[in-house]
Amino acid sequence: RKIVYGLSWFDNYYNNMIMYGSFIDDNNNIKTGFYNETSTHTRGIEAEINVKPVKYINFGSTYTWMQTFNVDGNPLARRPEHQVSAYINIIPIEKLKINIGLIYNGESVATIYETAGLNDDYFLLNANISYKINDNIEVYLKGTNLTNTEYEEIYGYGTKGIEIFLGLKAKI
């Protein structure tokens, strides 16, 4: 039985960060594209825990609280204040692995200079099953966004719904 946990504080200042989104150009017009954010500041806390109660099961969670600011004190676009993930890994037999993960992404500012407002918060459920045929070959079935959540990471740009992948990994 094993429990691993961690807690970190970060407080970073960046100069000349390259960003993508809306910005005000030299002629006071709103433009969209790459731009240079002259000074930014991020700070927050990251916490994690991983528990392995028995040989064939482990589960855990991570949490991030983050604040971001540009030189004008506005929050940086697409940086949620709260992010949480949780997972469980099960190995019912030696060659079979099952992973289920849940992700929460809190609301975030869509862009700094547009009236788009906020990107809504969302949950994603993902899963993966893999079977190791031998030391060199593994087959897997992977599903992402299994609840078919409609969400946007970038305002106005939708993301994919449910995706299912069947694959083969081979070591050469």
CB atoms inside a 10 Å sphere around CB 44: 18
Contact 64, 46 (CB under 8 A): yes
Residue 112 has pLDDT above 60, yes or no: no
pLDDT in tens, 48-105: 999 999 999 999 999 999 999 888 788 888 889 999 999 999 999 999 999 999 999 9
| For range 113-141, the mean pLDDT | 89
Q: Which of 67, 99, 70, 100 is nearest to 83 (CA)?
A: 67
What does residue 130 show for φ and ψ, rounded to 5 degrees?
-135, 150
> In the numeric block, which tokens belong to residue 91?
């190995």
User: Would you place residue 116 in the very low, low, confident or very high pLDDT band (cuts 50, 70, 90)?
Assistant: low
More confident residue, 62 or 118: 62
Nearest to 55 by CA among 1, 99, 96, 129: 1
pLDDT digits (tens, 9 = 90+) for 8-38: 999 999 888 887 776 677 788 877 778 777 7
Other Cβ atoms less than 10 A from the Cβ of 117: the count is 11
CA–CA separation, 110 and 97 (whole Å): 37
DSSP-derived pairing of the beta strands 163-170 and 108-109: unpaired
pTM of the model: 0.81
What local confidence, expressed as pLDDT, does residue 115 receive? 54
